[in-house]
Chain A
Amino acid sequence: MIQNKLSFHQSSASLEIIGLPDYSNNENKDQISIISQWKLSIVDKPLIEGKIEHLGPIMDAFYIYSNLLIKNDSPIYESKLIDIKADNLHLHNIVLKSSKPNVNPLNIKIGNTSLSDTINCFDQLTESSKVRIKKTVVSNYIAKKGSFSLNNKVKFLHFIMPPFIAIISLILCSSTFIYFYNPVEDKEKNELINPE
């Protein structure tokens, strides 16, 4: 059976998806639902390829790493299949670990441009109506970030805590004044003792 092939390109990166439509689901001939193979090529870098079970974790790794890159000074993503670490602000070190025994990990260094090109290729894949891939951690990860997260609660606490502490300390300070000497009261007492 002839397999379908779909390619997604963005400048220096291109992603190729090979697979078949799910005829049991009455899908079109040009659809891909059963992915048998994928290939990611980045200019001047070795070809990265694998099976469907590798595609999801690798996409997740790139998406999560890109988020960490924006937020952290030294982003690191580590998993059984792939490690991504920033060497500096412009260079990212990718280590791909083979699931086959006795195969050395593949080290690739890519720049910011290749990283953004690769992420845009993955974006095109997730948005494509012709390829159906199971929703992975990526979508959950993005959705969670959009909601009212723990981070927002921390920010809310930061906002409410200073005035709260200020009011409490004001009450504590003012309550100590109850025990201080009150000259008006003393004068009244003296008047009662010496009515003249």
Chain B
Amino acid sequence: MLETIDLNGIQSLYALSNKLNLNNVLPNKVAIWKLRNNNPLRKSYVINNIKLNEFDALIRITVEMSKFLYPYIREILKSKEDIEENSVIWNDFNNRFIELIKERFNVDSIRVKKLLNKAENDEIIIKSLLILSFCISNQGYQKLKNFLYDF
């Protein structure tokens, strides 16, 4: 979701891991890429047994990135609220989201097919953006962790 907003997502993730002093957990871009491959919906899915400190590091980076991208997250949510007046931002975001999913995810999976369907993916996109927008405070790390545990 964050990569759909930030075109240079992987570089930003790596820069933030340096800023948050997470170099010992995520020393390079390959380490981040490996962790992302734990997602079973990805084409390059590999079971790496993600460790607790790696899980924490990813949450910290996500929260930090949400803080930076909050104005954009807000604009996307806003454009969906006023879809009749301003549909350009939402449509651009949704198209790019679908492009990224097609490029990186296993499109044969039923769950991925649901993400690719514009009529059905609204809810998952809005809820994901809302979760990110609720977690931009200093307590965001704990909040996001709670949301993920409840998922």
Chain A residues with CB under 8 Å of chain B are 11, 66-67, 69-71, 89-91, 111-113, 115-117, 119-120, 123-124, 126-127, 142, 145-146, 151-152
Q: Does B133 contact A (CB under 8 A)?
A: yes
Chain B residues within CB distance 8 Å of chain A: 71, 74, 77-78, 80-81, 122-123, 126-127, 129-131, 133-134, 136-139, 142-143, 145-147, 149-150
Given contacts A70-B147, A112-B81, A113-B78, 12 further A-B contacts (CB under 8 A): A11-B74, A66-B134, A70-B134, A90-B77, A116-B77, A116-B133, A116-B134, A119-B134, A120-B136, A123-B137, A123-B138, A152-B149
Residue ID in chain B nearest A117 by CB atoms: B74
Closest CB in chain B relative to A157 CB, distance in Å: 17
Q: A89-B122, A91-B81 are in contact. Are A126 and B133 (CB under 8 A)?
A: no
Contacts of B130 on A, CB cut-off 8 Å?
66, 69-70, 112, 115-116
Q: Which of B77, B123, B136 interacts with A113 by CB under 8 Å?
A: B77
Considering the chains assembled together, what is the distance between the CA atoms of A112 and B134 in angstroms? 10
Question: Please, which residue of chain B has its CB at the minimum distance from the CB of A139?
Answer: B139
Contact between B77 and A112 (Cβ–Cβ < 8 Å)? Answer: yes
The residue that B74 contacts in the complex, of A116, A124, A145, A146, with Cβ under 8 A, is A116
Task: Please count the residue pairs between chain A and chain B whose beta carbons lie under 8 angstroms apart in the complex.
Answer: 69
Partner of B139, one of A69, A70, A126, A151: A126
Q: Tell me which residues across on chain A come within 8 A of B143, comparing CB atoms.
A: 142
Contacts of B139 in A (CB 8 A): 123, 126-127
B interface SS class = helix
Contact A111 B81, beta carbon cutoff 8 Å = yes
Determine whether the beta carbon of B150 is less than 8 Å from that of A127: no
Q: Chain A nearest CB: distance from B78 CB in Å?
A: 5
How far does the Cβ of A108 sit from chain B's closest Cβ, in whole Å? 15
- Smallest Cβ-Cβ distance to A123: which chain B residue: B137
B137 x A146 contact (CB < 8 A): no
Task: Please tell me if the beta carbons of B150 and A151 are within 8 angstroms of each other in the complex.
Answer: yes
Q: B residues within 8 A CB of A66? A: 130, 134
The smallest C-beta distance from A125 to any residue of chain B, in angstroms, reads 10
For B133, list chain A residues within 8 Å (CB).
Answer: 112, 116, 120
